[in-house]
């Protein structure tokens, strides 16, 4: 049995670990935090559960390739059935309410003047309805349950592949600008950060309309815990609160991983923590390969602030996911926001005491420098409190029933993600701006040294964590002459 050490029990590390353990490696996962899941997490505060990770799980539909990974790794089980909400977003704007439903043809009723751009958008979305994140076997590998490669499936993906370079060349905001109706524009801006490329918008809309994205009940933490349980039942070991300090090599030969306690001797090491952080922190001297230098020079990060409220009010008469247009912009983290995308968990009884509601909001944008400066100036806590107070005040204007009813507050800034998960500049996923290439780490650096996770492939999120985790386990199997066993 060869020994494998994986650094990080995020979704990618867990997936890689499950497949490697099943394929005969003696696998240990080192995790800095006290829980599995990495940035895909939820937590409890005074009776409330705050979902700080999964909002849309792609691959939720049975039969799509990614769903096989979620099933094989035990991520989706009877204890977390997937819920497919519809409408997916609801715009609240000066007394008006507009729904974005999975059936996109319903948008016509709101904007007859946009009949033509809407028809075009539905055509683009339709092209992507046959596109699935590919999950293939790598070449020259013995695989116990090989994946079938269907030529028909491949041909069906053709239209999406042809549209991809065009949609990558401009932003979602530019795409949305072709609609004349301002409410429709605001509604569509809730789907993805409008500054990222238009491909992300169309791909996400297509995952709604094809019924492939949902929310596993019990949230991120239950899903990650399911995977951690699958891994340990297979005989794998997870060492929580045990950060890896250094990958030890002699020339190109891997010796193991240093923790604060000892050297964990290993035949192979997979780094699933943020690769941009790892290339500087885990190697002495820092990794100097051309791809690593390019990553240092060019990588841009996606950052966000996450605000959660426990409200002593029942919001079940309100939509589940609201795009709330503000009369006055909200200022937080050095950024300004004209709209808030707010998740209302009132219909999930596990998330709050009876009659109460957990409410969350992600404010995306580059706020890392602002918060870093605030910490250096000793103003971090005060500015966070100010941002939370302004957020509550803005939200109370739109939802008067929460006024004076907020009993629990919580806020994560990029510094929080940096502290818990050591993501570079506290980023929460990969950045995918128009015409921007991802500056990725290779899956295989040398025999015995591998990367996986969100900085190893386009574009980001859980699909990338899952697919690269599986592919990395295959590369490790090939290098060590092991058969890849998926189930
Ligand atoms: C608020 C929010 C909402 C999101 N919503 C969605 C969504 O709806 N859909 C979607 O697809 N994606 C979403 N994402 C993104 C998705 O969660 C991430 O892209 C994905 O979880 C990344 O997984 P990963 O395994 O690559 O990395 P990570 O989650 O970063 O895992 C790396 C792990 O390594 C650990 N680690 C770091 N340093 C060390 C060390 N030195 N030693 C040991 N361990 C270490 C970290 O603690 C972490 O557990 C969201 C993320 C956030 C934060």
Low-confidence ranges of the chain (pLDDT < 50): none
Look up residue 254 and give its two tokens.
């891997």
Cα of 13 vs centre of ligand 1, distance in Å, is: 10
Q: Measured at the alpha carbon of residue 455, what is the angle toward residues 450 and 458, in degrees to the nearest 5?
A: 115
Q: Is residue 361 part of a domain?
A: yes
Q: Is 212 helix (H, G, I), strand (E, B) or coil?
A: coil
| Residue 269 and residue 165 in one domain | no
* DSSP letter (8 states) at residue 484: B
- Last residue in a domain, options 164, 183, 210: 210
Return the best residue to mutate from 342, 429, 451 for the ligand 1 pocket (most ligand atoms within 8 A of CB). Answer: 429
Ligand 1 pocket check for 53: Cβ under 6 Å: yes
- Last residue in a domain, options 402, 424, 446: 424
User: Among candidates 317, 397, 311, which has minimal Cα distance to 355?
Assistant: 311
Contact 450, 268 (CB under 8 A): yes
φ, ψ of residue 155 in degrees (nearest 5): -65, -40
pLDDT for 132 equals 81
Q: Is residue 352 part of a domain?
A: yes
Ligand 1 pocket check for 135: Cβ under 6 Å: no
- CATH code where residue 230 lies: 3.50.50.60
Ligand 1 pocket check for 30: Cβ under 6 Å: yes
Q: Is residue 415 part of a domain?
A: yes
Cα of 451 vs centre of ligand 1, distance in Å, is: 14
pLDDT for 150 equals 77
- Residue holding tokens 């929580």? 240
Q: Is residue 229 part of a domain?
A: yes
| Residue 75 and residue 189 in one domain | no
pLDDT for 391 equals 98
φ, ψ of residue 186 in degrees (nearest 5): -60, -40
Q: Is residue 355 part of a domain?
A: yes
Ligand 1 pocket check for 422: Cβ under 6 Å: yes
| Residue nearest (by alpha carbon) to ligand 1 atom 51 | 53
What domain range includes position 113?
103-133+150-210
pLDDT for 1 equals 86
Burial call 439-478: b when 16+ CB within 10 Å, e when fewer: bbbebbbeebbbbbbbbbbebbbbbbbbbbbbbbbbbbbb
**Atom in ligand 1 nearest the alpha carbon of residue 282:** 41
| Residue nearest (by alpha carbon) to ligand 1 atom 19 | 461
Return the best residue to mutate from 10, 14, 221 for the ligand 1 pocket (most ligand atoms within 8 A of CB). Answer: 10
Contact 325, 183 (CB under 8 A): no
pLDDT for 336 equals 97
- Last residue in a domain, options 384, 400, 424: 424
């Amino acid at each position: 049995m060869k020994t494998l050490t994986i650094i990080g029990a995020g979704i990618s590390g867990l997936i890689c670990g499950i497949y490697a353990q099943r394929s005969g490696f003696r696998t240990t996962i080192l995790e800095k935090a006290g829980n599995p899941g990495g940035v895909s997490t939820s937590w409890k505060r005074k009776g409330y559960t705050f979902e700080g990770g999964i909002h849309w799980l792609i691959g939720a539909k049975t039969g799509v390739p990614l769903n096989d990974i979620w099933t094989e790794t035990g991520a989706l089980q009877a204890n977390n059935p997937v819920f497919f909400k519809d409408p997916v977003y609801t715009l609240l704007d000066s007394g008006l309410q507009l729904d974005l439903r999975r059936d996109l043809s319903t948008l016509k009723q709101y904007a007859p003047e946009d009949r033509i751009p809407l028809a075009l958008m539905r055509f683009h979305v339709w092209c992507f309805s046959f596109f699935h994140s590919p999950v293939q076997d790598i070449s020259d590998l013995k695989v116990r349950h090989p994946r079938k490669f269907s030529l028909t499936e491949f041909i069906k993906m053709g239209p999406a592949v042809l549209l991809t370079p065009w949609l990558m060349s401009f932003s979602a905001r530019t795409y949305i600008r072709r609609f004349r109706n301002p409410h429709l524009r605001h509604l569509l801006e809730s789907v993805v950060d409008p500054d990222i490329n238009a491909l992300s918008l169309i791909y996400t809309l297509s995952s709604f309309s094809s019924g492939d994205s949902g929310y596993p009940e019990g949230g991120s933490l239950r899903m990650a815990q399911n995977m951690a349980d699958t891994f340990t039942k297979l005989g794998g070991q997870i060492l929580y609160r045990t950060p890896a300090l250094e990958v030890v090599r002699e020339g190109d030969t891997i010796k193991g991983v240093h923790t604060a306690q000892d050297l964990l001797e290993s035949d192979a090491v997979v780094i699933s923590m943020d690769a941009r952080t790892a290339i500087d922190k885990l190697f002495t001297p820092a990794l100097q390969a051309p791809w690593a230098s390019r990553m240092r020079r060019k990588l841009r990060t996606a950052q966000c602030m996450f605000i959660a409220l426990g409200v002593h009010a029942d919001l079940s008469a309100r939509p589940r996911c609201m795009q709330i247009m503000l009369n006055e912009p909200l200022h937080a983290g050095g950024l300004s926001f004209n709209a808030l995308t707010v998740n209302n968990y009132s219909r999930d009884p596990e998330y709050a005491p009876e009659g109460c509601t957990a409410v969350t909001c992600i404010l995306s944008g580059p706020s890392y420098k602002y918060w870093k400066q605030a910490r250096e100036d000793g103003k971090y806590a005060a500015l966070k409190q100010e941002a939370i107070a302004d957020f509550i005040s803005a939200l109370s204007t739109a939802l008067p029933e929460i006024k004076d009813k907020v009993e629990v507050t919580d806020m994560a800034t990029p510094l929080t993600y940096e502290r818990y998960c050591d993501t570079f500049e506290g980023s929460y996923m990969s950045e995918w701006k128009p015409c921007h290439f991802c500056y990725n780490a290779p899956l295989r650096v040398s025999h015995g040294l591998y990367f996986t996770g969100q900085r190893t492939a386009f574009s980001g999120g859980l699909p990338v964590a899952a697919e690269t985790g599986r592919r990395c386990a295959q590369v490790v199997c090939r290098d060590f002459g092991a058969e890849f066993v998926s189930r």
